[in-house]
Amino acid sequence: MLPRFLTASYPMERHYFMVPKFALSLIGFYPEQKRTVLVKLWSFFNFFILTYGCYAEAYYGIHYISINIATALDALCPVASSILSLVKMVAIWWYQDELRSLIQRVRFLTEQQQKSKRKLGHKKRFYTLATRLTFLLLCCGFCTSTSYSVRHLMDNILRRAHGKDWIYETPFKMIFPDPLLRLPLYPITYILVHWHGYITVVCFVGADGFFLGFCLYFTVLLLCLQDDVGDLLEVENIEKSPSAAEEARIVREMEKLVDRHNEVAELTERLSGVMVEITLAHFVTSSLIIGTSVVDILLFSGLGIIVYVVYTCAVGVEIFLYCLGGSHIMEACSNLARSTFSSHWYGHSVRVQKMTLLMVARAQRVLTIKIPFFSPSLETLTSILRFTGSLIALAKSVI
């Protein structure tokens, strides 16, 4: 049995960006969150923790490259995620007004699509899907971050069981001043580093959840538009032409539908402008993370292998969600074009026919989240997996 908030019976308005809202509100970065003084101070504190963590991890990894490559990679692999998380945090803060505007506008448009069971079915399907997938991402990230702390604790417990001293290190390999790695300050340092890992997770969940959520909500708008076009152009008797008054009404309604289609395209363009840095950085960094994780899996044993297997799976889930969201928009556009062309548009006046064919032509220009060099889709994911397989084979041959 799934929790109620992961089912279609949960209120639709509460499904809307539920997991990204929960995640980003924890660190004070949700765009619709009221920016009180306490929230601003809390968000700055989390920004400082994440920023210093990136510096400390990178310094540790670079320092150990010439000493022990396995230890260096153990620090450099998570620092890639930390830096990417910092990029996402800064981007969410920088574009908070635009994100707030997009969230409110898409909410308004989707709330209008409840006039039929079909439209409500579209909303339930994709709203629930967005919540489930972003919750899966949250679980994967939580398990990945927690596994680092569990590994460190288990290693030290085993050391104590064999009569050895406790190693005063942090879950993520970082450089700290010596007083912070000794009692009585060590537990505080440990907790802050552990929280640094969770800040990384919630930034990923927030940014990736926005991308997936907007893609699925745009898909709902396109499917509802497809239903409205089919219902409007439906003709009971193809041999009998509609009256002039009926044609005038259809023209007015068709103009509204064209405006809706144009607005969805405009919203997609606005989303591309907001998400371009996040998405491009994500795909570039993910390739580095997967590569170093595979090398770490080959170098480590025991709990280290489990940690990096979980890590690699979490990164794979993130890439899959980006590509899945992009594919849903593309498929919805293609289905809109096919459905509109298959309607009874030829039974109406010449003006309606022209408007219909223009919508078909517009829908055939598939909406995509435009990122330099590529667009996220399942085809892109297939190419990434093939390339990753080649890297794994190369790493095995070298090591």
- The number of residues making up the chain comes to 399
Predicted structure pTM score = 0.88
Q: How many CA atoms lie within 13 A of 123 on its CB side?
A: 25
The pLDDT of residue 241 is 67
* DSSP, residue by residue, 279-298: HHHHHHHHHHHHHHHHHHHH
| pLDDT tens, position by position, 246-257 | 888 888 888 898
What are the residues facing 254 on neighbouring strands?
none
pLDDT-derived band at 368, boundaries 50, 70, 90: confident
pLDDT-derived band at 399, boundaries 50, 70, 90: low
Please return the burial class of 20, using the count of CB atoms within 10 Å of its CB with bins 0-12, 13-18 and 19+.
Answer: buried
| pLDDT tens, position by position, 228-243 | 888 888 876 555 666 7
The pLDDT of residue 237 is 57
The pLDDT of residue 390 is 54
The pLDDT of residue 89 is 94
The pLDDT of residue 266 is 92
Q: How many CA atoms lie within 13 A of 92 on its CB side?
A: 31
Q: What is the DSSP letter of 30?
A: -
**Range 256-274 average pLDDT:** 90
Minimal CA–CA distance to 295: which of 106, 135, 80?
Answer: 80
pLDDT at 37 over 90: yes
- Look at the block and give the residue holding tokens 């949960």: 10
| pLDDT tens, position by position, 86-110 | 999 999 999 999 999 999 999 999 9
The pLDDT of residue 131 is 94
The pLDDT of residue 374 is 66
Alpha carbon distances (Å) from 265 to 115, 141, 174, 221, 359: 23, 32, 45, 11, 12
The pLDDT of residue 289 is 72
Q: How many CA atoms lie within 13 A of 105 on its CB side?
A: 16
Note whether 52 and 228 are within 8 A (CB).
Answer: no
The pLDDT of residue 388 is 57
Q: How many CA atoms lie within 13 A of 127 on its CB side?
A: 25
What are the residues facing 374 on neighbouring strands?
371
Note whether 92 and 202 are within 8 A (CB).
Answer: no
pLDDT-derived band at 24, boundaries 50, 70, 90: very high
Note whether 340 and 359 are within 8 A (CB).
Answer: yes
| pLDDT tens, position by position, 154-185 | 888 888 888 888 888 888 888 888 888 888 89
The whole-chain average pLDDT of the chain stands at 84
The pLDDT of residue 239 is 59
**Range 266-281 average pLDDT:** 88
Q: Under DSSP, is residue 371 helix (H, G, I), strand (E, B) or coil?
A: strand
pLDDT-derived band at 151, boundaries 50, 70, 90: confident
Give the ranges where the chain is alpha helix by DSSP (H): 12-15, 18-27, 37-64, 69-94, 96-111, 117-161, 186-233, 244-299, 303-341, 350-364, 378-398
The pLDDT of residue 29 is 94
**Range 380-386 average pLDDT:** 68
Note whether 274 and 102 are within 8 A (CB).
Answer: yes
Handedness of CA 96, 98, 100, 106 (dihedral sign): negative
What are the residues facing 371 on neighbouring strands?
374
- Round to whole Å and give the CA distance between 222 and 334: 10
The pLDDT of residue 378 is 74
pLDDT at 148 over 60: yes
| Range of weakest confidence among 128-142, 197-211, 225-239 | 225-239
- Look at the block and give the residue holding tokens 């396995």: 70
pLDDT-derived band at 264, boundaries 50, 70, 90: very high
Note whether 268 and 367 are within 8 A (CB).
Answer: yes
pLDDT-derived band at 343, boundaries 50, 70, 90: confident
The pLDDT of residue 221 is 93
